[in-house]
Amino acid sequence: MEAKELTIRQTPCGSSLPDAEVPMINTLVACLGVQHRKLNDLDMHLVYGATRLVSESGSIEGNQKVLQTWDEIRQELWGHLQIEDGLVSWGVGHHALSSTLIDTLKGERQEMRRLMAVLRASSPNKREARAVGDQSSFAETLLALALMLDTHVERYEREVLPSIRRALFPK
């Protein structure tokens, strides 16, 4: 039996991407776009629910709806952020993202984690009546998270994903 000699071609930095990498990264970028639209929709429901929570303090129905939306966001967000982390890591490795943008993304991520930790600690039980001050504070934190998510999605759609695509498909 004759063994075939394999030649492994090492490409120098800056050369074209491996064949499978381009469609994989492009698919991840497209999937994030779809997820961003879903997060935008949930974000709008969160803003509406948090606003209602303040204006209709003591409303058990309003409380349940906003908690349901918050649960949906929480479930969607971690997997979504992991995909984004992978793309950012790829973008850093391929010099597709500026250091300023990377620092901004890190700061956003830290603030998101802080707000989510506050929300986890103060999330009322779905059946539990909350004091007006507690409910107001919870709603304010929800609104701060909604603003952060909106800013985050906008930054990814406007800066990060186009930068990744430019690195994938140079002119």
CB 141 within 8 A of CB 115: yes
At residue 125 the predicted structure's pLDDT band, cuts being 50, 70 and 90, is: low
Quote the Cα angle for 22-156-162, to 5°: 45
Q: Quick one: how far is CA 156 from the chain centroid?
A: 9
CB 51 within 8 A of CB 161: no
Quote the Cα angle for 6-12-18, to 5°: 65
What pLDDT, in 10s, does the model give residues 32-91?
999 999 999 999 999 999 988 878 766 677 778 888 999 999 999 989 999 999 999 999
At residue 19 the predicted structure's pLDDT band, cuts being 50, 70 and 90, is: confident
* Mean pLDDT of all residues belonging to the chain: 84
